[in-house]
Structure 1
Amino acid sequence: MTVRTLMACGAMLLASSAVAQTATHTGAHNPAVKSTTAAPVAAPANGANSFTQDQARGRLTKAGYRNVSALTKDKDGVWRGTGIRAGKTVRVGLDYKGNVTAR
């Protein structure tokens, strides 16, 4: 009796792992932002940006910019504005991945 039970349990485990492996993702896959800290990059990534203006300002502030202002989302989905860092006013950007750019 125990041999049948073990075989049945083994068959159920194999069947459940096979079902789990058949899941597929269709369309564009854009993983969620994994970190709450802003990463500095050379160029922002274009894409649909779900950050609100206040969230964008907060991320730029966390990245070390003060007096972040004039934030607007451009046609590429990048939040752009100005901020002060090390006493200099610079143009800043925040892409949909949470990456910060400055020039």
Structure 2
Amino acid sequence: MVRILLIFSALAVLGSAPAAAQSQSAHNRPNNNAINSSDQHNSNAPVAGRNSFTEGQAKSRIEAAGYANVSNLQKDNNGIWRGKAEKGGTQTEVSLDFQGNVNPSK
């Protein structure tokens, strides 16, 4: 009987753990989105971090942000793709961070 009571007690404790974990709210900080999507821009400067975009994917992301003639893409030591592109007839330097944010150089 004691064994059964201990088993039910253990199951009750283990069953409540996921509910407690879900009740924690996210921190209110920039770059802490619940879901990052390709149309979301959450930083006005490139965010350093391990970048898994290939060069082709980086070029496509930059083009999707309205840039054309993307060239000279290279990933720097902070994991940020940097290159040159045109927008509105003006050539500028652009960057793509690991979160997918495309920013012109300032």
TM over 0.5: yes
Aligned CA-pair RMSD: 2.8
Structure 2: distance between partners of 1:62 and 1:90? 16
Seen in structure 2, the aligned counterparts of structure 1 residues 47 and 90 have a Cα distance that, compared at 3 Å, is same
- 1:64-75 mapped onto 2 (5 Å cutoff): 64-75=66-77
Secondary structure of 1:17's aligned partner: helix
| Structure 1 residue runs without a partner (length 5+) | 1-7, 23-29
What TM-score results when the alignment is normalised by the length of structure 2? 0.67
- Give TM-score scaled by structure 1 length: 0.69
Aligned length: 86
Give the whole-Å Cα distance in 1 for the aligned partners of 2:90 and 2:77: 27
For the residue of structure 2 that corresponds to 1:60, the secondary structure is helix
Letter in 2 for 1:16: G
> Greater relative contact order: 1 or 2 (C-alpha under 8 angstroms, separation 6 or more)?
1
Superposed, 1:1-103 pairs within 5 Å as 15-18=14-17, 20=18, 21=20, 34-37=36-39, 39=41, 41-103=43-105
